[in-house]
Structure 1
Amino acid sequence: MTDTKAARLIPAGLLALSFVPVAAGAVRMTELTIGADITPDNARFFAAPVPVILHIVGVTVYGVLGAFQFAPGFRRRRPAWHRVAGRVLVPSGLVAALSGLWMTVFADLPAGDAGLLTGFRLVFGSAMAGCIVLGFAAILRRDVVRHRAWMIRGYAIGMGAGTQAATQLPWILVAGVAPEGVTRALLLGAAWIINLAVAEWVIRRRFPR
């Protein structure tokens, strides 16, 4: 595979990864804006819609716009793109992470999401926000290598929902039902770990030092 073709496939793959959270967010946003029937499954979103909407908007902007930050050819043809997009991505990523943390702590989550899964969400949500802040601080110091490394990690965590669809799919195909309880928590947690492992591999390949 040529470098040009690989460079095109990277943002395409990231956009595909962001499809699940973006599509799910669009459905949820439609429910909240058109006034869908309130059911036991969606009542918690209607109870506190503001953080839900902030989370959806933040994740959508962060996922879609962020994918193009990993297209070297696109950035070379538009030198100002990376800086302008970064000024949007930092606040949108922080909004996505912090609103997710707010919902984890204060929202009335399903009983099956308590315990281990809550811990995972708090850890990875905090880590995502931390990576973005560290990446921003690094670029202020003109430390481009650390800036890129932290931003790659932050994006990997932010796109965990896309990988979570893949980690749950084998279970659903075999068992015929969606995973619950500890099984669901472990499968969702595995997605974040997979994304971070890939991110670390990319970082060490690009920046050996």
Structure 2
Amino acid sequence: MPAGLVMLSAVPVIAGAARTAELTAGATVTPDNARFFASPAPVLVHIIGASLYCLLGAFQFAPSFRRRRPGWHRLAGRVLIPCGLAAALSGVWMALSYPRPPVDHVLVTPMRLVFGTAMFCCIVLGLVAIRRRDIARHRAWMARGYAIGLGAGTQVLTHLPWMLLAGQPNGIGRALLMLAGWVINLAVVEWALRRRPTRPTRSIPRHAGAPAGVLTSQ
């Protein structure tokens, strides 16, 4: 599973790296990137936060890896939570502050606001759950937050058939393809959570401290 999640993250991470190089190297300003040059900080925070969140978070879905390295989950969580929150908040900030590009339908902005806010809330709820030592809810909320964060990867797959058949999507078609990426990820997570057998959760001793991460094993 981690390998598949890393592969799903690859295209948006590479695109983010290219955008970072463009901004830091002083590339030519065009109508497509002018909004980023006018205010580069939010997009750089978003790229770095989302890239670390998606790539590092993929390894939280490997129970055998976590069992071999018991300190990994807690240590990674201390990096993943701020990265995820930064990615979500910067995404909301950009949706509110940057001018909407012509290729985006008017519905794209509210969708970004909804899913960015939902990702932030999922991570916070997951953190609250593990502070209460509720491992099942921690796992569920963190998995939902990760699914939303990985939406850009799935959106590459939803856009690809359209691009091969009809070229670059725009307008309402692009909005629906973007929505499909988030919905597919969340649907898969909900299916996986309900498919998993219900078992007693492992208790966490009060003196052990509360680990924080994307997914906790039972």
User: Matches of 2:189 and 2:157 in 1, distance apart?
Assistant: 17
Q: Is the 8 A contact 1:44 1:109 kept in 2?
A: no
Superposed, which structure 2 residues align to 1:78-157 within 5 Å? 78-157=69-148
Larger RCO (CA within 8 A; separation ≥ 6) = 2
Say which SS state the counterpart of residue 55 (structure 2) adopts: helix
Distance 1:54 1:172, change over 3 A: same
Say which SS state the counterpart of residue 179 (structure 1) adopts: coil
Contiguous gaps of at least 5 residues in structure 1: 1-9
Say which SS state the counterpart of residue 127 (structure 1) adopts: helix
Quote the offset at 1:114 in angstroms: 4.5
Say which SS state the counterpart of residue 150 (structure 1) adopts: helix
CA deviations on 1:12-62 (whole Å, 9 max, x unpaired) are 000001111111100000001111111111111101100010000101110
Partner in structure 2 of residue 191 of structure 1? 181
User: Matches of 1:113 and 1:179 in 2, distance apart?
Assistant: 9
Identity of aligned residues (%): 65
Partner in structure 2 of residue 37 of structure 1? 28
Quote the offset at 1:152 in angstroms: 0.4
Structure with the bigger percentage of helix: 1
Q: Which amino acid aligns with 1:204?
A: R
User: Matches of 2:6 and 2:103 in 1, distance apart?
Assistant: 30
User: Matches of 1:110 and 1:69 in 2, distance apart?
Assistant: 35
Q: Is the 8 A contact 1:167 1:190 kept in 2?
A: yes
User: Matches of 1:206 and 1:129 in 2, distance apart?
Assistant: 25
CA deviations on 1:90-115 (whole Å, 9 max, x unpaired) are 10000000000000000122033252
Quote the offset at 1:172 in angstroms: 1.0
Q: Is the 8 A contact 2:105 2:174 kept in 1?
A: no
Partner in structure 2 of residue 64 of structure 1? 55
Q: Say if 2:17 is the partner of 1:49.
A: no
User: Matches of 2:70 and 2:76 in 1, distance apart?
Assistant: 11
Contiguous gaps of at least 5 residues in structure 2: 200-218
User: Matches of 1:207 and 1:118 in 2, distance apart?
Assistant: 38
Q: Is the 8 A contact 2:103 2:171 kept in 1?
A: yes
Partner in structure 1 of residue 206 of structure 2? none
Quote the offset at 1:80 in angstroms: 0.6
**TM-score of the pair, normalised by structure 1:** 0.93
CA deviations on 1:104-135 (whole Å, 9 max, x unpaired) are 00012203325211111111111100100000
User: Matches of 2:115 and 2:43 in 1, distance apart?
Assistant: 18
